[in-house]
Amino acid sequence: MNTLISMLRGINLGSKNKLAMADLKAMCEQMNLKNVTTYIQSGNVIFSVDKSNPADISKKIESAIHKKFGMSIPVITRTIDEIRNAIKRNPYLAAKDKDLGNVYLTYLEFAPGSNEIAAIRDYSAPPDDFLINGETVYIYCPGGYGNTKLNNNFFERKLKTRATTRNWKTSNELLNIATKIEELL
């Protein structure tokens, strides 16, 4: 069994794409995912599954949401080790002048190519800053994520891959929940 974390993009934002976490959990259980747990209303679901490719699980969850709720919701799934490594590689951990409360991790569907990375390497949006490492973009936004130009739409357009963002606290809590589930296996 593997512990995976699926992150839904763009649900429960205002009146758009309303999806109760209890309904998401029930749907995942109907898909035979085990130890299903959700975290906050922004669409995070942690579960155990027999050996499976995270990209395949994302597609299955997207399809199930579309069939059951009539919504087209992008889903990005990571293994517990991928989340753990993303947290460990946070370049802002060592920066004494950066408040981790202003750090966001944008999880990409797949790692962008070198041409896409080169095209935005020198992009600047002060006071915000970002660094791409594999399938994760680390964003520092002292004015808050809601005010930055470095959002999901920007990275999807520039890097030609789907994206969803979680703040530093949520990323760590997803890892904590996944670790507890993993310990049960």
Together in a domain, 31 and 97: no
Secondary structure of residue 40 in the 3-state scheme: coil
Q: What percent of the chain has pLDDT over 90?
A: 88
Sign of CA dihedral 110, 25, 87, 130: positive
For residue 12, which of 38, 46, 40 has the smallest C-alpha distance?
A: 40
Q: Are residues 72 and 130 in the same domain?
A: no
Read off the amino acid at residue 31: M
Q: Into how many domains does the chain fold?
A: 2
**What pLDDT, on the 0 to 100 scale, is given for residue 160?**
96
Name the band, by pLDDT with cuts 50, 70 and 90, for residue 133.
Answer: very high
With the C-alpha atoms ordered 62, 65, 68, 70, is the resulting torsion angle positive or negative? negative
Q: Are residues 46 and 114 in the same domain?
A: no
Q: For the chain, give the mean pLDDT.
A: 94
The Cα–Cα gap between 147 and 34 comes to: 37
111: domain CATH number?
A: 3.30.70
Asked whether residue 7 falls in the same domain as residue 61, the answer is: yes
Residue 27, domain CATH:
3.30.70.1280
Per DSSP bridges, beta strands 136-140 and 129-133 are antiparallel
Q: What is the pTM of this model?
A: 0.94
pLDDT reading at 109 higher than 90: yes
* DSSP structure class, residue 102: G
Mean of pLDDT values over 100-106: 97
Helix (H) or strand (E) holding 160: none
Q: Do 111 and 128 fall within a single domain? A: yes
Could you list the residue range(s) of the whole structural domain that residue 38 is in? 2-83+172-184
